[in-house]
Amino acid sequence: MKKNTLTAAVLAGLTGAAGLVGTASAVNINPDGLGQVLIYPYYTVRNGNNTLISVVNTTSDAKSVKVRFLEALNSTEVLDFNLYLSAFDVWTAAVTIDEETGGGVLITHDTSCTVPYIFGDFGGEQPFLTFDSDEDGGPTGAPRTAAGYVEMIEMGTLVDGDTGTEEEPGPGRGSATAATHVDGVPNDCQQLVDAWTTIVVPGEDDPDNYWIVDPSVDHDPPSGGLFGGGTIVNPDAGQMFTYNATAIDNFRTAQVHTNPGFTNPSLLDAQGGSVVFQSGSATPITSSWANSGGGPLDGILAVNAILTHDTIMNEYVLRGDASAASEWVLTMPTKRPHVQPVLAEDDDGDLVPTNEPIKPFTSLWDGNGACEVATVARWDREEGPDPEAPDTEIRPPQVSPLPPPTPGPDPEPPFELCFEANVVRFTDLEDDLPDYTEVLGAPLDNGTDNQGYVNFDTGGLTEGWARFTFNQTSLPDDNDLVYVGLPTVGFWVNGFARGELEVNGVQTRANYGGLHNHRATRNITVE
């Protein structure tokens, strides 16, 4: 039996009637776009861009949602808060630039309840914060917050709870009613702010800080049904690009409502196993990770599994007559916990890492990045070969003694992705490098030894498609299944700038653009 047939047969046996995890309790990507967790692969406010974010609650239940913005280099938090959505509610916000600091600023004109109440208490504006990113050995200062990605995690279903009777009061406080809109405005966002407010009065208990005492009050398990999207818009360039957030369903079966000042829940808090489809197979593969050796990462290993791909594929186009530019976003939202160094003093008193990266990642964050190698290939639109593919070499027989070997060219450096949210700029490398990428505005220099973006040399193929292959492997699941690749989400964005045109005697700008999610394959095998 061939190896791939053997692997398929073994996988089929492992995922048959005695499957590893019931699919009802397994984390999965919802192909219909609804879920408990939403991942927005990219935001940017660089080079004239702004990013709009929306989340929609499609259910008749109110919800508690953790909203988290993370910067691009090392996924350090730049802003976390709690969002309380009414039934059928929509929350919208924009990320724009602070012209004085160069950092990101969240702006919202939406009255939906947040804690703190950004709309009401802060005039609708909240600058991004650098407390975490200033301490990780990388670039410091507000400009680092100007690009990154977004997570939204449903913490639970918000209810009014059991209020009991006058003789025996229950714990319910009417939180869902407080968050519910009446005539377009929530009933009482201040109640929810007060519930998280610590009031220290010696000898007294304040009745309003009920979530400080017990965060589970007025909360049932999460029920999903969220969807969202992002819009990157550059008014000066006349371009706008939209994408759907990646929706993760069955993330948790229990509520995990936390203080807005806490960084959990995070992707570490997934419950249960994972379920995916192997490429070319209609049989779901379910995995349990309780005994995988991940320790505190057991939860995030399930998220890794559903986001892991061994190949990422998409198109590109570079056409000078249309000033076309192509950039790929490759975001790895689970990377940070795998690559953080644990530092200790060595014999010379220097701080050195004492741990190793956790699979599937292979290098630790060193302040300049945590780089992962990809094998790259590209083709033009007419099936033209990859210019980097080796040419056929003919070696006829020779008499002895043989001449000394001719030294070959130095090997090309590997193609590496070093950050959490990577921008890959497609180029023929003949033009001078810009200070910022043409579409998303990723900088040439992030203040590190690595560029803020990675150039992908098309080798003269100005339009076609490319494939990135990842050969990294995961920790084995509880049944020795290994997921090949890296957990990645993202898209291709292409912009066309035709400059000024005259239409019916009027000078107008003719700029266009498009955005397409990546295509991918999965490779799951037996260790």
Q: What is the pLDDT of residues 296-324, one digit of tens each?
A: 788 899 999 999 999 999 999 987 655 78
Which residue has better confidence, 459 or 440?
A: 440
The per-residue pLDDT for 470 is 97
- Report which of 342, 289, 331 is spatially closest to residue 309, judged by C-alpha positions: 331
pLDDT-derived band at 43, boundaries 50, 70, 90: very high
The per-residue pLDDT for 23 is 57
Q: What is the pLDDT of residues 124-176, one digit of tens each?
A: 999 999 999 888 888 999 999 999 999 999 999 999 988 765 666 778 889 99
| Average pLDDT along the chain | 86
- Report which of 90, 92, 87, 81 is spatially closest to residue 115, judged by C-alpha positions: 81
Q: Which whole number is the average pLDDT over 14-37? A: 73
- Angle, CA of 182, 188 and 191, to the nearest 5°: 160
Annotate 320-375 with DSSP letters as a single string.
GGGTEEEEEEEE-TT-HHHH---EEE-TTS-EEE-S-PPTT--S---SS---EEEE
- The answer to whether the CB of 438 falls within 8 A of the CB of 241 is no
The per-residue pLDDT for 6 is 46
pLDDT > 50? residue 109: yes
Q: Which whole number is the average pLDDT over 36-46? A: 97
pLDDT > 70? residue 425: yes
255/171 Cα distance (integer angstroms):
16
Which residue has better confidence, 179 or 277?
A: 179
pLDDT-derived band at 20, boundaries 50, 70, 90: very low
pLDDT-derived band at 22, boundaries 50, 70, 90: low
pLDDT-derived band at 1, boundaries 50, 70, 90: very low
Which residue has better confidence, 413 or 51?
A: 51
- The answer for residues whose C-beta is within 8 angstroms of residue 486's C-beta and 6 or more apart is 308, 309, 332, 360, 361, 372, 470, 472
The per-residue pLDDT for 275 is 94
pLDDT > 70? residue 509: no
Which residue has better confidence, 367 or 245?
A: 245
pLDDT > 70? residue 524: yes
User: How much of the chain exceeds pLDDT 90, in percent?
Assistant: 60
272/191 Cα distance (integer angstroms):
34
- The answer to whether the CB of 317 falls within 8 A of the CB of 494 is yes
Global pTM value: 0.90
The per-residue pLDDT for 229 is 98
pLDDT-derived band at 523, boundaries 50, 70, 90: very high
Q: Cα torsion for 154, 157, 159, 161, to the nearest 10°?
A: -110
Helix residue spans in 94-201 (DSSP H): 118-121, 175-179, 189-195
The per-residue pLDDT for 16 is 46
Q: Which whole number is the average pLDDT over 71-96? A: 97
Which residue has better confidence, 398 or 369?
A: 369
**37 exposed, middle or buried (CB, 10 Å; 0-12, 13-18, 19+)?**
buried
What Rg do the C-alpha atoms of the chain give, in angstroms? 26
